[in-house]
């Protein structure tokens, strides 16, 4: 077979890989040695990486040179590569080299996460974190950072925030600015979802201080992520015009993120009441654009808001019902559900013609808020011994709980008005047909819950420790009589 060459900057495609795998062992070893020689050259890393990957079956973890190649391969892998699973598993079973043992186990977990096996990855990483804790600071930071990503996928953002702090402290002590900045951006995303603006702004200031020390390519990536988060934060703070300015800049500077910018722009415009403009951005026909599943919930919310603003009754009923059916399944993160549901519920309530749908949207939003409160409480009570809370984190969690309770109070006032209007029309109240298994009926004024024939009891005496709640709202007899006597149709503050 013709010899196969390897030079810096050479593209390693499927044809090259197939020819290389057909060479004799001696010829393959010569290619691997050539990759060793060029991997530290500016244009040689990509070629060496492709060579190692193509000839991974030739790498034997009992040979020192192959151990070094495997470690280098893992260190330079930007994303988890499923084709490396066998090599990673072999490395994870090798205890002769501690570095390789840690690398292999981490790569197995990363590949599991990339393939969507989040819980499997989480279990692997928690065990690995226990093994590296106090043994190797660099590995402890790397594992904590990867574990935080798994926890975010599982909607356990409180734990993810604490793991990020642990990873961030390690990277900063080691002087690893690049990884520290990446973790800091994950922290910013979580803080935006928590509406913790004080700490978010502080993290942004630190980020701006560190960015100039990065290489040009890395600085561009960080700038892009920062701009996207600024648009998101502006939206969450109801600074819609500012959000649109940031989205303009994302589209102008980062063409590969144009889809994200378009989807977000359409959503912002819909929330602002500019439904026709939102549809022009998104496309009136959903089949015209394939934005991918990561954007589907936001697109659905945009289309519901546009339908409501067009005030076409049949379209409103159909679109809103399908949207609420989807969110009732509970597959979206609670934070996403709260934001989307509240916007839809407010628009439904504003129209005044779809009270039942508005109340259902508020019910689902309330369930999502309670889920987040339960997450905070459960973490404070049952957090793993590997994760210790700092004073700042305890303060953050306390403030988050207060914000969630305040948001729940605001929601209860809105749904309370809908209930009184429905009762005045003679419509049956939820407590009259209450009894569905797993459904919790809450008074929108006093917050007590109905427990079968036992009447209405305080939330703390009844609420289950469950992350999949179904809530509906009503007005208990005591609160109804009080409002009837006072002639007050709104919940007192």
| Mean pLDDT confidence for 75-92 | 76
Binned at pLDDT 50, 70 and 90, residue 288 comes out as very low
Q: Given a cut of 50, is residue 287 above it in pLDDT?
A: no
Residues in a beta bridge with 109: none
Q: What would the mean pLDDT of 192-216 be, rounded to a whole number?
A: 86
Give CA–CA dist 10/328, Å, rounded.
52
Is the pLDDT at 269 greater than 90? The verdict is yes
Q: Is position 371 within any domain?
A: no
In a domain, 84, yes or no: no
At residue 234, the pLDDT reads 94
Structural domain of residue 239, as residue ranges?
A: 215-306
pLDDT of residue 460: 46
Q: For residue 445, which of 486, 407, 423, 477 has the smallest C-alpha distance?
A: 477
User: Which residue matches tokens 């159909």?
Assistant: 318
Asked whether residue 276 is domain-assigned, the answer is yes
Token readout for 95 is 């205890």
Tell me the average pLDDT of the chain.
80
Number of domains in the chain: 1
Collapsing DSSP to helix, strand or coil, 4 comes out as coil
pLDDT tens-digit profile of 206-251?
A: 888 888 877 777 788 888 999 999 999 999 999 999 999 999 999 8
Question: Are 264 and 231 within 8 A, CB to CB?
Answer: yes
Domain at 275, CATH number: 1.25.40
Predicted local confidence at residue 292, as pLDDT: 53
* Structural contact between residues 6 and 31, judged by C-beta atoms closer than 8 angstroms: yes
Asked if residues 327 and 337 have their Cβ atoms less than 8 Å apart, the reply is yes
Residue 283 has pLDDT above 60, yes or no: yes
What's the mean pLDDT in 442-470? 60
pLDDT at 488: 47
Q: What percent of the chain has pLDDT over 70?
A: 81
Instruction: State the average pLDDT over residues 41-48.
Output: 88
Residue 455 lies in a domain: no
428 in a structural domain = no
Label residues 173-203 b or e (16+ Cβ within 10 Å = b): eeebbebbbbbbbbbbbbbbbbbbeebbeeb
pLDDT digits (tens, 9 = 90+) for 412-429: 777 767 766 666 666 655
For 1-42, how does the pLDDT look when each residue is reduced to its tens digit (9 = 90+)? 456 788 888 888 889 999 999 999 999 999 999 999 999 888
pLDDT of residue 83: 74
Tell me what pLDDT residue 451 has: 64
Instruction: Provide mean pLDDT across the span 63-71.
Output: 89
* 128 in any annotated domain: no
Q: How many CB atoms lie within 10 A of CB 11?
A: 9
Asked, for residue 118, whether it belongs to a domain, the answer is no
pLDDT the model gives residue 99: 82
Q: 322 is written with which tokens?
A: 């399908």
Q: What's the pLDDT score for residue 467?
A: 45
240 assigned to some structural domain: yes
Over residues 390-411, the pLDDT tens digits come to: 777 778 778 888 888 787 777 7
Among 260-274, 283-297, 357-371, the minimum mean pLDDT is found in 283-297
- pLDDT given for residue 484 in this prediction: 61
């Amino acid at each position: 077979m013709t010899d196969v060459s390897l030079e810096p900057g050479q593209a390693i495609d499927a044809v090259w890989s197939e020819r290389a795998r057909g060479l004799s062992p001696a010829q393959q070893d010569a290619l691997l040695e050539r990759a060793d020689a060029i991997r530290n050259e500016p244009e040689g890393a990509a070629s060496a990486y492709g060579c190692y990957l193509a000839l991974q079956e030739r790498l034997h973890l009992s040979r020192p040179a192959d151990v070094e190649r495997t470690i280098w391969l893992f260190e330079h892998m930007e994303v988890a590569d499923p084709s490396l699973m066998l090599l990673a598993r072999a490395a994870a079973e090798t205890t002769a080299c501690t570095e390789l043992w840690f690398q292999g186990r981490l790569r197995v977990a990363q590949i599991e996460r990339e393939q969507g096996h989040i819980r499997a990855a989480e279990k692997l990483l928690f065990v690995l974190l226990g093994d590296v804790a106090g043994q190797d600071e660099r590995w402890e930071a790397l594992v904590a950072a990867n574990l935080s990503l798994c926890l975010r996928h599982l909607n356990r953002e409180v734990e993810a925030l604490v793991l990020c702090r642990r990873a961030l402290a390690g990277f900063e002590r080691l002087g690893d600015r690049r990884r520290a900045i990446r973790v800091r951006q994950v922290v910013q995303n979580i803080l935006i979802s928590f509406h913790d603006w004080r700490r978010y702004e502080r993290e942004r200031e630190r980020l701006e201080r560190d960015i100039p020390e990065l290489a040009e390519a890395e600085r561009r990536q960080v700038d892009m992520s920062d701009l996207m988060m600024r648009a998101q934060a502006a939206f969450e703070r109801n600074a819609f015009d500012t959000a649109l300015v940031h989205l303009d800049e994302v589209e102008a500077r980062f063409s590969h993120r144009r889809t994200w910018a378009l989807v977000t722009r359409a959503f912002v415009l819909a929330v602002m009441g500019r439904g026709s403009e939102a549809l022009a951005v998104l496309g009136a026909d959903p089949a015209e654009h394939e934005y991918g599943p990561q954007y589907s919930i936001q697109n659905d919310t945009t289309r519901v808001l546009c339908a409501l603003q067009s005030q076409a009754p049949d379209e409103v009923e159909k679109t809103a019902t399908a949207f609420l059916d989807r969110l009732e399944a509970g597959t979206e993160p609670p934070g996403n559900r709260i934001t989307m549901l509240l916007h839809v519920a407010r628009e439904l309530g504003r129209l005044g013609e779809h009270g039942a749908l508005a109340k259902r949207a508020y019910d689902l939003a309330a369930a999502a808020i309670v889920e987040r409160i339960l997450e905070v409480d459960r973490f404070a009570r049952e957090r793993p011994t590997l994760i210790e809370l700092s004073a700042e984190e305890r303060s953050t969690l306390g403030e988050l709980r207060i914000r969630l309770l305040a948001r729940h109070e605001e929601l209860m006032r809105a749904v309370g008005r809908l209930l009184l209007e429905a009762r005045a029309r003679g419509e049956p109240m939820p407590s009259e047909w209450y009894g569905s298994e797993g459904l919790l009926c809450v008074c929108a004024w006093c917050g007590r819950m109905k427990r079968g024939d036992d009447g209405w009891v305080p939330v703390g005496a009844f609420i289950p420790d469950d992350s999949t709640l179904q809530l509906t709202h009503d007005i208990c007899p005591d609160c109804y009589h009080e409002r009837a006597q006072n002639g007050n149709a709104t919940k007192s503050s």
